[in-house]
Amino acid sequence: MASSTGLSLKFSPLSTSFKQNKVRGICNVNSVSLPSRGMRLGSLRLRVSCAAKPETVDKVCSIVRKQLALPKDSPVTGESKFSALGADSLDTVEIVMGLEEEFGISVEEESAQHILTVQDAADLIEKLVEQKSA
């Protein structure tokens, strides 16, 4: 569509002009969420020592790509947020279902609710897989 191409040329100045790096109040480092989700910062520290294996992250990335029909060159990494990739709630639920089938696990709604990034999903998967074999 001609109009959207024209738009994409002009969006870059739009985004760089909003590079305000003030982080205040409710605006956390990783997400625009409640202070009560500040537990996310705690999990940031945990992540360093208990990070999921790269293979797990890769499998999650591939399931996410498939669900969201992302172009091959679109980068998806552990840091990628599902919402930023365009996943809506139906996509997220489908992704969780895909992960359950791929890894033979069962994800409770409480846990699923905290999955915001690919890394979150990979970490949860490894935790559940470990619990299953324990």
Partner 1 sequence: MNIRCFQRNFSAALPPLVPLQLPSPMETHLWYVLPDEVKSWGLLNQYSELLSPCEREGVNRMRGDQLKKRALLARALVRTTIARYQTNSQMNPRSLKFRKNLYGKPEVEWRDEDNFSPLPLQFNLSHTSTMIACGVTVNVPIGIDIEEKQRRTKNNLIAFAQRYFSAYEVKVLTTISDPEVQRQEFIKLWTLKEAYVKALGKGFSAVPFKTFTIRFRETTLRNFHPPGSSVSEASDIIVESFDDPTNPTNNWQFTLLEVAGSHYGAICIKKDRTAGANELMKLTVWKTVPFVEDVCVSGTDAVVDLGRIIEQ
Q: Is 133 a binder of partner 1 (CB under 8 A)?
A: no
Q: Is 72 a binder of partner 1 (CB under 8 A)?
A: no
**Of 39, 46, 50, 66, which one interacts with partner 1 (CB under 8 A)?**
66
**Of 48, 49, 55, 108, which one interacts with partner 1 (CB under 8 A)?**
108
Provide CB contacts within 8 A for 43, sequence distance 6+. Answer: 120
DSSP bridge pairs for 117: 81
Q: Is 109 a binder of partner 1 (CB under 8 A)?
A: yes
Q: Is 18 a binder of partner 1 (CB under 8 A)?
A: yes
Contacts 24+ apart (CB under 8 A), 71-76: 76/118
Rg of the Cα trace of the chain?
Answer: 17
Shortest distance, position 124 Cβ to partner 1, whole Å:
14
CB 116 within 8 A of CB 83: yes
Structure-block tokens of residue 107: 């994800």
Provide CB contacts within 8 A for 102, sequence distance 6+. Answer: 59, 63
Q: Is 88 annotated as catalytic?
A: yes
Q: Is 112 a binder of partner 1 (CB under 8 A)?
A: yes
Per 3-state DSSP, what percentage of the chain is helix, strand, and coil (rounded to 5)? 60, 0, 35
Shorter beta-carbon distance to partner 1: residue 3 or 49: 3
Choose the catalytic residue: 58, 73, 88, 91.
88
Q: Which residues bind partner 1 (CB under 8 A)?
A: 3-4, 6-8, 10-11, 13-15, 17-18, 20, 22, 25-27, 32-34, 36-37, 66-67, 74, 81, 83-86, 88-90, 93-94, 97-98, 100, 108-110, 112-113
